[in-house]
């Protein structure tokens, strides 16, 4: 498929999309722009893009597809600027933002000029950022939500999916409002809860010095998403404020119910509360990629002697297994000396487990 694809924003998502399109459509030319010129230079050097655009104007003019991979507030500004340009009338403009209603609403200025805008949200990510972390497999089997307005021709949606075929994602078409409601429940709201747990713990730690040390293990795991970008989440929350206010009202009611059970010392209700939560959680798909990036962790029980970590990572390097993160748990219930190794995919985690089992006698277990 020939054509010119212009990617605005060469971070993890924009870079990975560029790689997917480049691989699937070898005759296409990928042009990239990033406000950080070093990121653009690196993208060209790594072969993520074919050409560097000096600015948005020069990259957008003759493009057949424009992908805006920027924070949601910046995406709105870019859309406003694109509307002032004499674009190719057949161009498709899409984005990768985590909220859709406000962005799709702002894109009416493009549609008034006959330009097709189709909101997009690839629901995949990584623990790393920047174009150097871009991967062709990032979106494989992930959900890719598209939010075209009702008047958008289906042929345009199918053309966009054809351009994005190399992602090997699962494309779903929903309304912008439904998108924001669903992602509010399974992504935005959990980030608020994780951040709130950390904030409360920080306040309590002022009077109890052992809290930071005891929170080094499982507590860090259940609150990982609280380490996400504050700037990004400020914008996401403000964009999706109405739905999140509704969800917070429901959460306060839920917590009041728990408080009542405790006040009444109702053991059967408390048991049922946790039992129902366990049943629902255990029934969720284990191999599906959802709104929050999965953590493919391998826990390795290690002896305490010099060089043990380099020994284990050496085994993985020997088998060319890439890791995304590595850390030692200082405190984990019933286990002493645990190395936590994170991987990009479930396949890599399984390969690592077999690898370590082949080369050593260290016990391993997977995170869930």
Residue 197 near residue 223 (C-beta atoms within 8 A): yes
Which range, 239-243, 315-319, 353-357, has the best average confidence (pLDDT)?
239-243
**Model confidence at 353, in pLDDT bands (50, 70, 90)?**
confident
Amino acid 335: pLDDT: 45
DSSP string, 180-206: HHHHIIIIIHHHHHHHHHHHHHHHHHT
Is the predicted pLDDT of residue 327 greater than 80, yes or no? no
Three-state SS at 277: helix
Length of the chain: 368
Q: Is this structure's pTM higher than 0.75?
A: yes
Q: For position 288, what pLDDT does the model report?
A: 63
Q: Which domains does the chain have, with CATH numbers?
A: 3-174 (3.40.50.720), 179-282 (1.10.3660.10), 296-366 (3.30.70.260)
Q: Is the pLDDT of residue 224 over 70?
A: yes
- Whether the per-residue pLDDT at 108 is higher than 90: the answer is yes
**Out of 30-34, 68-72, 217-221, 236-240, which region has the weakest mean confidence (pLDDT)?**
217-221
Residue recorded with tokens 């949200």: 121
Q: In this model, does residue 209 exceed pLDDT 90?
A: no
Average pLDDT over the chain reads 89
pLDDT for position 334 = 45
CB 165 within 8 A of CB 139: no
Residue 177 has pLDDT above 60, yes or no: yes
For 11-46, letters b (16+ CB in 10 Å) and e give: bbbbbbbbbbbbebbeebbbbbbbeeeebbebbbee
% of the chain with per-residue pLDDT over 70? 92
């Amino acid at each position: 498929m020939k054509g010119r694809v212009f990617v605005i924003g060469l971070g993890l998502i924009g870079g990975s999309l560029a790689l997917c399109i480049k691989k699937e459509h070898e005759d296409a030319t990928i042009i990239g722009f990033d406000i950080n010129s070093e990121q653009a230079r690196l993208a060209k050097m790594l072969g993520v893009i074919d050409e560097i655009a000096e600015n948005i104007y020069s990259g957008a003019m003759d493009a057949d597809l424009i992908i805006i991979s920027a924070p949601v507030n910046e995406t709105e500004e870019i859309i406003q600027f694109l509307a002032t340009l004499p674009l190719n009338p057949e161009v498709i403009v899409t984005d990768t933002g985590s909220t859709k209603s406000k962005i799709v609403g702002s894109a009416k200025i493009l549609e008034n000029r006959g330009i097709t805008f189709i909101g997009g949200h690839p629901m995949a990510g990584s623990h790393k950022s920047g174009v150097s972390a871009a991967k062709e497999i990032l979106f494989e089997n992930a959900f890719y939500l598209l939010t075209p307005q009702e008047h958008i021709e289906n042929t345009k949606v199918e053309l966009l999916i054809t351009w994005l075929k190399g992602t090997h994602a699962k494309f779903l078409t929903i309304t912008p409002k439904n998108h924001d409601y669903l992602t509010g429940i399974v992504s935005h709201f959990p980030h608020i809860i994780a951040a709130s747990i950390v904030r409360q713990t920080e306040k309590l730690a002022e009077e109890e010095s052992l809290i930071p040390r005891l929170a080094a293990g499982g507590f860090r795991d259940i609150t990982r998403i609280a380490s996400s970008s504050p700037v990004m989440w400020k914008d996401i929350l403000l964009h999706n404020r109405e739905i999140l206010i509704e969800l917070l009202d429901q959460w306060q009611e839920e917590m009041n119910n728990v408080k009542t059970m405790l006040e009444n010392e109702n053991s059967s209700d408390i048991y049922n509360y946790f039992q129902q939560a366990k049943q629902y959680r255990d029934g969720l798909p284990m191999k599906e990629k959802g709104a929050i990036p999965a953590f493919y962790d391998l826990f390795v029980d290690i002896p305490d002697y010099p060089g043990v970590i380099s020994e284990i990572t050496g085994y993985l390097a020997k088998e060319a297994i890439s890791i995304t993160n590595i850390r030692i748990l200082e405190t984990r219930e019933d286990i002493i000396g645990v190395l936590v190794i994170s991987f990009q995919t479930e396949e890599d985690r399984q390969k690592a487990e077999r690898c370590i089992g082949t080369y050593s006698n260290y016990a391993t277990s997977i995170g869930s």
